[in-house]
Structure 1
Amino acid sequence: MSEGPAYGFDTLQIHAGARPDPATGARQVPIYQTTAYVFRDAEHAAALFNLQEVGYIYSRLTNPTVAALQERVATLEGGQGAVCCSSGHAAQIMALFPLMAPGRNVVASTRLYGGTVTQFSHTIRRFGWSAKFVDTEDLDAVRAAIDDDTRALFCETIANPGGYITDLDALAKIADEAGIPLIVDNTSATPYLCRPIEHGATLVVHSLTKYLTGNGTVTGGAVVDSGKFDWSASDKFPSLSAPEPAYHGLKFHETFGPLAFTFHGIAVGLRDLGMTLNPQAAHYTLLGIETLSLRMKKHVENAEIVARWLESDPRVEHVTYAGLESSPYHERMARICPKGAGALFTFAVKGGYEACVKLVDSLQIFSHVANLGDARSLIIHSASTTHRQLTPEQQKAAGAEPNVVRVSIGLEDPSDLIADLDQALTAATGETR
Structure 2
Amino acid sequence: MPHSSPKPAKLALADGTVFTGEHFGAIGEAFGEAVFNTSLTGYQEILTDPSYAGQIVTMTYPEIGNYGVNADDVESKGIAARGFVVRELCRRPSNFRSEKGLNEYLAEAGVVGISGVDTRALVRKLRSAGAMTAVISSETLDDDALVEKACNSPELVGQDLIRTVMPESAASWDEPLHKFAAPSAAPPSPNDGTPGRTPHVVAIDYGMKWNIPRHLSAMGCKVTVLPGTATAAEVQALKPDGVFLSNGPGDPRPLDYAVGTIRELLNDDVPIFGICLGQQLLGLACGGEIEKLKFGHRGANQPVLEKATGRVEITSQNHGFALKEATLPADVEVTHVNLNDDTVSGIRHKTRPAFAVQYHPEASAGPHDSGHLFARFREMMSKA
TM category (shorter chain) comes to: under 0.3
Considering fraction of residues, name the structure with more helix: 1
Considering fraction of residues, name the structure with more strand: 2
